[in-house]
Structure 1
Amino acid sequence: MKKIVASVLLVISIIFLFKGFTDWKYRISNKVNNNSIRELSTSENEEDPLSRIIDFQKLKSINKDVVAWIYIPGTKVDYPILVGESDEEYLYKDINKDYTPLGSLFGFSGTNFTKGNTFIFGHNMASSQMFGELRKYLSSDFLEEHRYIYLYTERKAMKCDILSIFIADESDDVFSGQYELGTVEYIDLLSELVNRNKYNNNNLEKNIIEYSTKQVFNLITCYGGEGTPDRLLVNGIVVEEKIR
């Protein structure tokens, strides 16, 4: 698993080298496309994002590989998440499977959002599209104003509080695997995520056993200059869910 993660992260870093030259060509067209998909498939509920309706039937009529939707209020993060036949299928493709250097937000092949932790990848675009705004979480003020992440699947909606934020090398052990809830491996991972938090942990380490029954979603993007092996992780833990 760790080798697979490293491979995906390497390809993402290569794209990062060129995004400054190509991003501008796709800003308008991708913004229009993403807005159209959003208008077609979502029903707004600003007072209670957990009750937001995502029309997965419409989304799957466009592309059966749509497995989830992610939304961070107050940011541009409001996209479908795709899982292809290969781990890297959506590095360069949008929901219509058309080429775009922005790619899509995606998980590993076989990801079904039932594991304890789930990796979600996206490019760190200069235009702030995809996961381009995650870097803003390195500001504590931004974190306090945008600390909830919402994920939607056909089965349920989930509200996640940000558990931790940190930067890791692409070969870091934190990328070793996706584990089942409640396992020793998952508890060890949770402890690692909490202990490496950029911000005050507020005694979160005392709640690791309690957290072991809750899912974590690892949002991952490139960080730093050209060719850097560094990755920014924003890790959200489910604090509330609503069954569909």
Structure 2
Amino acid sequence: MRKFIYRILFLICLGIFGFSAYQLFEIYNVKNSVNKEVKELESTIKKEDESYEVDWASLQEKNPDIIAWIIIPDTDISFPIVQGSDNSYYLNHTYLKEDNRMGSIFLSMDNQRDFSDVNSIIYGHSVDTGGMFTSLKEYKDLEYYQEHNYLYLLTPSQNYKCDVICFSQVEDGCDYYNIHFNMDDMMNTYLQTATHYTNVENVESVITLSTCDLDYGAHSTKRFVLVASLKAYDGKIVVN
């Protein structure tokens, strides 16, 4: 009887080990697939003296839905931005339209693809393994927020260097997600509600980066948002 029990326990442990190994393989495979795609797409970017220049014709030949590239210097965020016909497809499809639960970084379907709205909302997953917009959670730390105070948005018609206005922990669907608003009123909302806030002058339009707050679970309505001013920039895109 004792030997029988030991054998049952051994089989249970073996099953748990096998399932865990399979899960780890799946996690690696999902993340590795996205990383390979991004590396492939990065081949369309010319880098000279740390300056970026995007070959948009080559990039959009691979996928016409690619409309921009976002870079936050000194972080792992350097990704294409896509826009689909809805806000669901790119939640679980890569930049080259492969099934993948990490999805893509995408602009809201309700926004103009040239970022001409007062507020352009850019979504990306947070995942336990890292990648996509997961590292936005680091902005909870004030020192990190102060050290990573701008980002680049590259588009076919214009590049932008965007000063960070605020970082907030919010509910999905709050005022931060309005596409059209009075900027003076919204700047006051940022001031009153943000976890961290920076007084940026002469703001005419913004981009809002949005991701899940995993502390509440992947299916909660809690969100991290990083808001930055959208300012045209014709200088070098230096990321280091």
Instruction: Give the TM-score category using the shorter length.
Output: 0.7 to 0.9
User: How many aligned positions are there?
Assistant: 210
The answer to whether the Cα contact below 8 Å between 1:23 and 1:101 also exists between their aligned partners in 2 is no
Task: Output the CA distance in 1 between the equivalents of 2:129 and 2:234.
Answer: 33
Distance 1:20 1:178, change over 3 A: farther
2:189 paired residue among 181, 189, 192 = 192
1:166 equivalent in structure 2: 168
1:217 paired residue among 204, 207, 216 = 207
1:242 equivalent in structure 2: 234
**Gaps spanning 5+ residues in structure 1: where?**
1-18
Query: What's the TM-score, normalizing by structure 1?
Result: 0.77
Distance 1:60 1:195, change over 3 A: same
1:77 CA drift (Å):
0.8
**Gaps spanning 5+ residues in structure 2: where?**
1-22, 236-240
The answer to whether the Cα contact below 8 Å between 2:70 and 2:153 also exists between their aligned partners in 1 is yes
Letter of the structure 1 residue corresponding to residue 107 of structure 2: G
Query: What's the TM-score, normalizing by structure 2?
Result: 0.79
Moved over 3 A (4+): 19-25
2:70 equivalent in structure 1: 70
Q: Which has the higher contact order (CA 8 A, sep 6+)?
A: 1
Letter of the structure 1 residue corresponding to residue 230 of structure 2: V
1:46 CA drift (Å):
6.0
Distance 1:120 1:75, change over 3 A: same
5 Å matches for 1:146-165? Answer: 146-165=148-167
Task: Output the CA distance in 2 between the equivalents of 1:23 and 1:161.
Answer: 34
2:36 paired residue among 8, 32, 35 = 32
SS at match of 1:141: helix
1:126 equivalent in structure 2: 128
SS at match of 2:75: coil
Letter of the structure 1 residue corresponding to residue 92 of structure 2: Y
Percent of pairs identical after alignment?
22
**1:162-188 Cα deviation digits (max 9, x unpaired):** 10001111132332x212xxxx63332
Letter of the structure 2 residue corresponding to residue 41 of structure 1: T
Task: Output the CA distance in 1 between the equivalents of 2:49 and 2:128.
Answer: 27
2:47 equivalent in structure 1: 44
Larger Rg: 2
